[in-house]
Amino acid sequence: MSRYTARFADRKADWAAFEDAKIEGYKRAQHRFIGAGGSGKHGDPSVIPAKNFTLSIMFVPPGQGNAAHTHEVEEVFFVLQGHLDVFVEDGKGHRVTKRLGPWECVSCPAGVIHGYQNDSLEPVYFQVMLGRGQPETMGYADDELYKRRDAHLKSA
């Protein structure tokens, strides 16, 4: 039972979980619970192993978010506290944004460019699920970020 139980108090905030998190405007912390998460980092013994999905809690301060990106599987955001502006866009850069509040969620389809921003005055906590236990590293829409998308793994 202990291998399959994780408590928030035991999670470590990973402020370097993603390559874009090094850039002002994209700073956020991932708290991994199940699977490796979308960051591509593997091998943390405190994370519950999974084969078919991941689950993390994200903490995003006001004014921060993440870079536009894609995954090979769907990604779900479920807001627990605060407000989160989530966007999807087509290949031509046309963007549609929805604001989510507590107990609201969105599912971003596989291969669709998406991301989020905390444009509120309060921090936001939300749950993230990806449809694979060890997903590939995210594919950034920005060419320079895409080129170095695995750099955060070298410091892990």
pLDDT tens readout for residues 64-120: 999 888 889 999 999 999 999 999 987 787 899 999 999 999 999 999 999 999 999
Q: What CATH number does residue 38 fall under?
A: 2.60.120.10
Domain of residue 50 covers 2-147
pLDDT tens readout for residues 23-80: 999 999 999 999 875 455 556 788 998 889 999 999 999 999 998 888 899 999 999 9
DSSP string, the chain: -GGG---GGGPPPBTTSSGGGGSTT---EEEEEESS-TT-----TTSBP-SS-EEEEEEE-TT-B---EE-SS-EEEEEEES-EEEEEE-TT--EEEEEE-TT-EEEEPTT-EEEEE--SSS-EEEEEEESSSSPPPPEESSHHHHHTTTHHHHT-
Q: Is residue 155 part of a domain?
A: no
pLDDT tens readout for residues 117-130: 999 999 999 999 99
- The domain total for the chain is 1
Q: Is residue 153 part of a domain?
A: no
Q: Is residue 156 part of a domain?
A: no
